[in-house]
Structure 1
Amino acid sequence: MAHHATITTALLVAFLFSFSFFLHADVAAAASTLSQGQSLGANDTLVSPGGSFALAFFTPAGGDPSRVYLGVMYAQATEQTVPWVANRDAPVSASSAYSAAVTASGDLRVLQGDSVVWSTNTSSTLGNATLTLSDSGNLQLTAGGEQPTVVIWQSFEHPTDTFLPGMRITLDRSNGGVRRTLFTSWRSSGDPATGDFTLGQDPLGSAQLYIWRQTTGGENATYWRSGQWANTNFVGVPWRSLYVYGFKLNGDPSQSNGVIYYTFNAYNTSDYRFVLNPNGTETCYMLLNTGEWETVWSQPTTRCQEYNTCGANAACSDDVSGDGQPVCSCLKGFEPRDPAEYGAGNWTQGCVRSVPLSCVSGGGGGGDGFAEFPGMKLPNFAEWGSTVGDADACKQSCLGNCSCGGYSYSTGTGCLTWGQELVDIYKFPDGEGYDLFVKVPSSILDTGSKTRRWIAVVIVVVVVLLAACGLLLWKCRSRIKEKLGIVGSRDKKRLPTLLPLREQRQDFSGPKQQSDHQEEAEGGKKCELPLFPLEMVAAATDDFSAANKLGEGGFGHVYKGTLPGGEEVAVKRLSRSSGQGLEEFKNEVILIAKLQHRNLVKLLGCCIQGEEKILVYEYMPNKSLDAFLFDPARRGLLDWKTRFHIIEGIARGLLYLHRDSRLRVVHRDLKASNILLDRDMNPKISDFGMARIFGGDQNQVNTDRVVGTLGYMSPEYAMEGLFSVRSDVYSFGILVLEIVSGQKNSSFHHMEGTINIVGHAWQLWSAGEGERLVDPAVRAAGGSATEVALRCVHMALLCVQDHACDRPDIAYVAMALGSDSSVLPRPKPPTFTLQCTSSDRDGLFEGRQADESYSACDLTVTMLQGR
């Protein structure tokens, strides 16, 4: 009996031990933290509070099944996706007993049996060390137990190959040394061990991102360069602006002893990640609702995108024939360094000057000029002219410096100059890139001028001969008709000066989806559009003289004109060099001719003759809203009564476009410069070149071509190409905030704690200090103006909410603006537009030792075409 009792007792103890073990495993599987003294076993998982990420042991898909790693993984992805690996170079054996534990000294260790294969190498005297996995994917070791805890280690400071929202790519030169955040690729898709490619900031402080490749000799050779940061994107990355994803540069690169870093924030519910792949490409992925990953962008994908493919002073162009070989060509004024090798495909030899600069031989620089190269990736090793304020000053600065070999100026980059060697130049396709001006002797430029003069002479001679032949034929036309028996055409009807739009359908045909709507004019009548002769339009504008120019837009200039009857008009002349303007011209003629409303600008006619494409509008003597709103000298003319009248008028115009017109229209480019003002300051929405017509059953459309103006575009449109009538509501909200404050949206970019006017407005309004947003000129007027202005701010914050479904439609907006009694709902915080405050940024690296060195820290593919 004693023997049986002993067996029973042993079985009970074993059962209780097994039960406690499984209970412990279940708790670990559901937890997001691991406390001091606890461990994570082979079958245990830590899950972030929102279920976005998980920490567990894994075997890489397609890898060696005997090797096991501890890593952070996406919990919602259908395929195994591991953005961070702990023991990437020290896997544990699948056949052994392994675990991860938080020690009493505050150290995270990966154990194989009793052996430590990987450790964070941290310690803390505060006690109560805890490992936490956040919904950002950051794995943190904290100590102290009570709030606030001290972060003693975090995975975001020690990345592997993936750049996640909230991470930093840092260059720290504050203590005399150079410390950088470095991302290193996997060895292969199935092997997370350290690979051959590394990404990080330029150690020289140019704020450029580099990818280096480890050579067989163990040295790091430059493989790819992002180009200079230009406020919204890199000059070497020709895709939609990174700025709309929250990608930004913090710190001042000109300070040689400071800290600069890049970071980005996810502005919607989609998950994005940048991955340095084993083949050296940096790729941006987006997690779809299906759990699959979609590739958004990747570089380098061609030989020309790789670093300095063609050598110094040569431009690289992708071969359109499709054989994958780059096309190298020397810049103007240069010739191959070694013609025999250059022609044989050895492009790395580059080019040298064919004729020395005059300043080199003592000419003083007066005999030099600049050859222009548009659409380029700007060269490496640029020097920034911080004191140069415009393009002409930048040109003169380079011209007067004998060591300067070229310059470039843009609002994003400022003045950049280069020495005599121009390295890593890429000719972008499709008109992207920046203008590069290379210094060359004037004799080379004159050679081109002489060639053009000879061509002009030949053209003139040919035209004269053709004109003479034509005159001769015209004089002999009666005899020719008699010989051929042709009846005279004197009695034939002339083309009418007023043609139905339907008769011009072959010239302005749009998508089939739109054609059914275009067959219907307002009131069921034909929509007739006057066609003006080019001679009449030219005479009305004094041959498009500069004195009559009212302004210019993305696709041409606008002139004031006077028709023979004395009517004043505004003439929009499409630029001949505009490759995109033709579609917008067709769209505007078809669309606006059918829309008639007091708050929409009226199209009087058009002119189509040869390459000329011209639209004739009613003339607005007060020009556009931005001419008043953003001019300190004229802003005072806009009292609150006028501003509110403009807001209401814009809302009524949008209401007509979205609901009351026969064509349901989304404008897509609503901004202050597209709101025109008549003599009585009545607002009129203009520029329908970007507008789109919706079908009767359509609520949302996806486009592969995102066009518009940064700062006014809704997040879902800017990042994923999705637009609807709620996209216009978002733009209207931005416009209302500008009207109330009298400030441009872009003027808030550099303010502490905010990224634009939306973030600034939210901070003031939520803190009960909304009056500070109202233009001082309006506040000074007193009365009820400030109260109504604050109500407009409240409405604007409802219009600019992150998700389209949360925004009100324009019918509600128009109704609420006209009623003081309706109670407005509380808007949601604009997470797309708020950024970390300084305290938030400091907290990210909280707990890092002063002497610690570290080596680690929509969407469809469309091109953003800003205006």
Structure 2
Amino acid sequence: MAHAGVTAAALVLLLFLRVVDVDAAEFSALSQGQSLGAADTLVSPNGAFALAFFSPLGGDPNRRYLGVKYARAAEPTFPWVANRDAPVSAASPYSATVTASGELQVLQADRVAWRTNTSSSSSSSGNNVTLVVTDTGNLVLSSGEERLWEGFHHPTDTFLPGMHIALDRRDNSSITRTLFTSWRSPGDPATGDFTLGLDPQGSAQLYIWHNATNATSNSSGIYWRSGQWANTNFVGVPWRSLYVYGFKLNGDPSQSVMSYTFNTYNTSLYRFKLHPNGTEACYMLLDSTGEWETVWAQPTVPCHKYNTCGANAQCATGDDHGQATCACLKGFEPKSAAEYGDGNWTQGCVRSAPLTCEEKDVKGGDGFADLPGVKLPDFAAWGSTVGDEGACRDLCLGNCSCGAYSYSSGTGCLTWGQDLLDIYEFGDGEGYDLHVKVPASVLETGSKAKRWTTVIVIVVIVVVVVLAAFSVLLCKCRRRIKEKIGIGGRQHKRTPSLLCPAREARQDFSGPTTTQPDPPEDVENGGKKCELPLFSFETLAAATGDFSGANKLGEGGFGHVYKGTLPTGEEIAVKRLSRSSGQGLEEFKNEVILIAKLQHRNLVKLLGCCIQGEEKILVYEYMPNKSLDAFLFDPARRSLLDWNTRLHVIEGIARGLLYLHRDSRLRVVHRDLKASNILLDRDMNPKISDFGMARIFGGDDQNQVVNTNRVVGTLGYMSPEYAMEGLFSVRSDMYSFGILVLEIISGQKNSSFHHMEGSLNIVGYAWQLWNAGRGEELIDPAIQAACPAREALRCLHLALLCVQDHACDRPDIPYVVMALGSDSAVLPMPRPPTFTLQCTSSEREALFRDKAHESYSACDLTVTVLHGR
């Protein structure tokens, strides 16, 4: 038997060690000569992590391992294990010791089971070597300021914030990489069968190999591939935006050194774990329960696995059980004569007709078949000098060896050879567009079939539309006839409700949204629908002390904002539309429709609304730290916003705009971005608010421009083309963002720069300083001493790019988000802001007097009083 040699005395010792904790000690640091016993712990300063001995659940209880664990997790979770391949036995004494030579060792009696192998000469300066667990979970052995050894440099199966997944190809004979290896089983931390790391060829892709031997090359054993990095996420993991959650690429495929990092911007704990079955999963620790919530995981279906369908074929999830459905790409056919009826597609597909390798305008030339929404193939070549999709297409068309291309703002120009491997078709509009080179004859055959299909579809649609229109007219006629003859007794005079006609009969509903006694109904406005819970007026009056002045947080052209507390104890902010506000009615409806559909961590959350009689009220989550301007422009509080917090706010606002402009299902232009509309939660996370002025854009055109005859917004934040011509687009928001960044850097309102060094506003003043090489003078004096000048000047550079006079010169928000996260990106030179440099104060007043006929009046300006929200 395996444990036949365990004596009765050893069993008594084991029972004592596992049950009795009377002598257990808790350390904040271990010095030379100190040891960590079987029941002792070494705890991080914030208490989130601890180093201790453990036996994995479901494993051999006699085997003991030294590992870093999450101290607040409900289930024991160990992201790092020291002696994973050399466990000690619980039957005899064991410990972890910092030796006199400055080395960490795991000891079994007098035997060394595991060691850090740090050089003994590192402690020559004296007995000052200490072992600590940092607040990020890193186990660090240091001598003074010098770090001798770190657990993050020797990872096991888990990638934590603060770690690097690195690749160093400067020495081609010895490529250095950070590799993560799974456990052998859930109960055995020993080295397992799967390894994760960066592609050794430098494509910036993450791979999972079936064993560590295959990880040395990219030729065999690949189990899963992340796909190319697209500035905000991997093309094979289209889950939201990884960049929003702190995932960044440092370097690019053209460089010899690159790495991925993951740094969170809130107090939540995240981890990426490589499971024994080869699945990579991201988890977030829920503070309220201590449980782990799965954020995303791959591979979870056969199509996620590497090259399931072979070369030149695409894989699609065919049913609810995730079964793979393989199909050859257009212009290809199965490699064997018979179809792959047995489901074995490993041989892939071959071309049904050879390429002619001629220009398309030549008879019999080649063209491209579009394959939308896919995970792009492996082994791409990056065309770093290609600047647009047309040039990328021409590059592939002019190269006989090119079999496909793809272009996007995130990936740039990618081209592939003749064999296309590992293509997965995503659903729900995810993925990227791939253009596969095929002979023109294949495109013509497909075009004829497509034309017939289009004709049939058009005919069917026309018939359906005609029948539907006839039905609608018939219903209207019948309703008018009933109204004329008074069917059903006396007629009732009804006042139509603003948004929810279905709720008119139940406007006295008094239950708060948190209990939801009735299911929420669709809020309608011009055919647009969104589900939003309704509050009764009585509930909100009770929550705010009958809208007491003592609970008032602020006011504007729309009315007042109050703090309230629901019966459940939840704090809320109540925005009550003023009955006398001529401006607020449309803005109220606009905000309900917009913000109820927008869900993002950097957008304020709308909890519900109230429509009762003449009362129109919005209910938001409560922001205890008020708005950004309450800190930024308050001389007594501005120092509380150190540079790191200000940079965090800038990045958060950028991510919110990224969601509004590109990632949300509605493309939204805010039109009133300013410091008072940026709210701050308990952790100083920024949230964009006040969507009363916002407008929805249709389609995917980032350069779409709309003309309005009613210019609304806030002076100083409006772009020149909007203020003077009524033209607005997503680039108008970028101008406001640039002004906001300048205010955050300087700690001064835009209007406070009038006549300073002859400039009209903050834009002109910032340009003069930056152009003269004195940009540091713009930094807020309250933080200037501790502010990294290089970071602040880079933000100043980005802001000047955003406030350029011409909208086409301004960067879009994906570029800004990328530039904020990469110090290596080279920024273009901004153009001088001629409008703000040349226009005088009197000229500006005359300019806006001339535009009075465009409803540019005091009623159209948003006004904010500086109180908490």
Please give the alpha-carbon distance, in whole angstroms, between the structure 2 residues aligned to 1:36 and 1:188: 35
Other-structure match for 1:195: 192
Other-structure match for 2:242: 242
Instruction: After TM superposition, give the deviation of residue 286 of structure 1 in Å.
Output: 1.1
> What one-letter code is carried by the residue in structure 2 that aligns with 1:114?
D
Q: 1:688-726 CA deviation, whole Å, 9 max, x = no partner?
A: 64322614696549xxxxxx98334899xx99xxx9987
Residues 292-691 of structure 1: pairs in structure 2 closer than 5 A:
292-322=291-321, 324-340=322-338, 342-359=340-357, 367-455=365-453, 586-587=527-528, 652=556, 689-691=593-595
* Secondary structure of residue in 2 paired with 1:184: strand
Q: 1:358-408 CA deviation, whole Å, 9 max, x = no partner?
A: 118999897111111111111111111111111122112211211111111
Matched, 1:120 2:116: yes
> Paired residue for 2:67, among 66, 71, 84?
71
Counterpart contact for 1:59–1:67, Cα < 8 Å: yes
* Secondary structure of residue in 2 paired with 1:348: coil
CA separation of 1:217 and 1:452: change in aligned 2, threshold 3 A: closer
Please give the alpha-carbon distance, in whole angstroms, between the structure 1 residues aligned to 2:757 and 2:187: 67
Counterpart contact for 2:205–2:227, Cα < 8 Å: yes
Instruction: After TM superposition, give the deviation of residue 174 of structure 1 in Å.
Output: 2.6
CA separation of 1:583 and 1:140: change in aligned 2, threshold 3 A: farther
CA separation of 1:504 and 1:782: change in aligned 2, threshold 3 A: closer
CA separation of 1:466 and 1:77: change in aligned 2, threshold 3 A: closer
* Secondary structure of residue in 1 paired with 2:276: coil
Instruction: After TM superposition, give the deviation of residue 787 of structure 1 in Å.
Output: 14
Counterpart contact for 1:132–1:141, Cα < 8 Å: yes
> Paired residue for 1:159, among 143, 155, 162?
155
Gaps (5+ residues) in structure 2? 1-20, 471-476, 485-492, 511-521, 533-553, 565-571, 576-582, 597-605, 611-617, 623-652, 665-676, 695-712, 721-727, 732-736, 767-777, 784-818, 825-869
CA separation of 1:739 and 1:51: change in aligned 2, threshold 3 A: farther
Larger relative contact order (Cα-Cα within 8 Å, sequence gap ≥ 6): 1
> What one-letter code is carried by the residue in structure 2 that aligns with 1:445?
L
Q: 1:121-143 CA deviation, whole Å, 9 max, x = no partner?
A: 01213332111111110000111
Q: 1:95-127 CA deviation, whole Å, 9 max, x = no partner?
A: 011111111222111111111111110121333
Other-structure match for 2:224: 224
CA separation of 1:253 and 1:460: change in aligned 2, threshold 3 A: closer
Other-structure match for 2:3: none
Counterpart contact for 1:513–1:695, Cα < 8 Å: no
CA separation of 1:44 and 1:349: change in aligned 2, threshold 3 A: same
Matched, 1:730 2:687: yes
Instruction: After TM superposition, give the deviation of residue 58 of structure 1 in Å.
Output: 0.8
Please give the alpha-carbon distance, in whole angstroms, between the structure 2 residues aligned to 1:468 and 1:242: 46
Other-structure match for 1:644: none
Q: 1:484-520 CA deviation, whole Å, 9 max, x = no partner?
A: xxxx99x96999xxxx998899xx979x899967999
CA separation of 1:365 and 1:140: change in aligned 2, threshold 3 A: farther
CA separation of 1:713 and 1:117: change in aligned 2, threshold 3 A: same
Please give the alpha-carbon distance, in whole angstroms, between the structure 1 residues aligned to 2:82 and 2:247: 26
* Secondary structure of residue in 2 paired with 1:389: coil
Please give the alpha-carbon distance, in whole angstroms, between the structure 2 residues aligned to 1:758 and 1:280: 48
Residues 76-225 of structure 1: pairs in structure 2 closer than 5 A:
76-123=72-119, 124=122, 125-127=124-126, 128-143=128-143, 145=144, 149-176=145-172, 177-214=174-211, 221-225=221-225
> What one-letter code is carried by the residue in structure 1 that aligns with 2:201?
L
CA separation of 1:687 and 1:52: change in aligned 2, threshold 3 A: closer
Other-structure match for 1:40: 36
Counterpart contact for 2:752–2:761, Cα < 8 Å: no
Please give the alpha-carbon distance, in whole angstroms, between the structure 2 residues aligned to 1:463 and 1:761: 53
Counterpart contact for 2:757–2:765, Cα < 8 Å: no
> What one-letter code is carried by the residue in structure 1 that aligns with 2:194?
F
Counterpart contact for 1:247–1:263, Cα < 8 Å: yes
Please give the alpha-carbon distance, in whole angstroms, between the structure 1 residues aligned to 2:104 and 2:181: 22
Please give the alpha-carbon distance, in whole angstroms, between the structure 2 residues aligned to 1:405 and 1:775: 58
Please give the alpha-carbon distance, in whole angstroms, between the structure 1 residues aligned to 2:318 and 2:261: 34
Counterpart contact for 1:737–1:757, Cα < 8 Å: no
Please give the alpha-carbon distance, in whole angstroms, between the structure 2 residues aligned to 1:730 and 1:771: 20
> What one-letter code is carried by the residue in structure 1 that aligns with 2:295?
V
Counterpart contact for 2:359–2:398, Cα < 8 Å: no
Counterpart contact for 1:359–1:365, Cα < 8 Å: no
Counterpart contact for 2:403–2:418, Cα < 8 Å: yes
Q: 1:731-782 CA deviation, whole Å, 9 max, x = no partner?
A: 15999999669899999xxxxxxxx9799769x74xxx54699999985555
Other-structure match for 2:274: 276
State the TM-score, normalized to the length of structure 1: 0.58
CA separation of 1:377 and 1:654: change in aligned 2, threshold 3 A: farther
Other-structure match for 1:614: none
Q: 1:500-558 CA deviation, whole Å, 9 max, x = no partner?
A: 998899xx979x899967999xxxxxxxxxxxxxxxxxxxxxxxxxxxxxxxxxxxxxx
CA separation of 1:700 and 1:517: change in aligned 2, threshold 3 A: farther
CA separation of 1:442 and 1:68: change in aligned 2, threshold 3 A: same
Task: Tell me whether 437-446 or 780-789 shows the greater mean CA deviation.
Answer: 780-789
Q: 1:428-452 CA deviation, whole Å, 9 max, x = no partner?
A: 0211111111111111111122223
Please give the alpha-carbon distance, in whole angstroms, between the structure 1 residues aligned to 2:329 and 2:346: 14
Counterpart contact for 1:379–1:424, Cα < 8 Å: yes
Counterpart contact for 1:84–1:161, Cα < 8 Å: yes
Residues 783-862 of structure 1: pairs in structure 2 closer than 5 A:
none
* Secondary structure of residue in 2 paired with 1:304: helix
Counterpart contact for 1:374–1:436, Cα < 8 Å: yes
* Secondary structure of residue in 1 paired with 2:556: helix
* Secondary structure of residue in 1 paired with 2:210: strand
Q: What is the percentage of aligned positions where both structures have the same residue?
A: 54
Matched, 1:56 2:48: no
Instruction: After TM superposition, give the deviation of residue 584 of structure 1 in Å.
Output: 9.1
Please give the alpha-carbon distance, in whole angstroms, between the structure 2 residues aligned to 1:44 and 1:382: 51
Gaps (5+ residues) in structure 1? 1-24, 474-487, 521-580, 592-649, 668-677, 702-707, 748-755, 798-832, 839-867
Counterpart contact for 2:24–2:39, Cα < 8 Å: no
CA separation of 1:725 and 1:695: change in aligned 2, threshold 3 A: farther
Instruction: After TM superposition, give the deviation of residue 293 of structure 1 in Å.
Output: 1.2
Please give the alpha-carbon distance, in whole angstroms, between the structure 1 residues aligned to 2:96 and 2:54: 13
Counterpart contact for 1:29–1:47, Cα < 8 Å: no
CA separation of 1:350 and 1:653: change in aligned 2, threshold 3 A: farther
Please give the alpha-carbon distance, in whole angstroms, between the structure 2 residues aligned to 1:366 and 1:181: 49
Please give the alpha-carbon distance, in whole angstroms, between the structure 2 residues aligned to 1:438 and 1:88: 47
Please give the alpha-carbon distance, in whole angstroms, between the structure 2 residues aligned to 1:34 and 1:442: 72
Please give the alpha-carbon distance, in whole angstroms, between the structure 1 residues aligned to 2:318 and 2:267: 38
Other-structure match for 1:574: none
State the TM-score, normalized to the length of structure 2: 0.58
Task: Tell me whether 353-362 or 75-84 shows the greater mean CA deviation.
Answer: 353-362
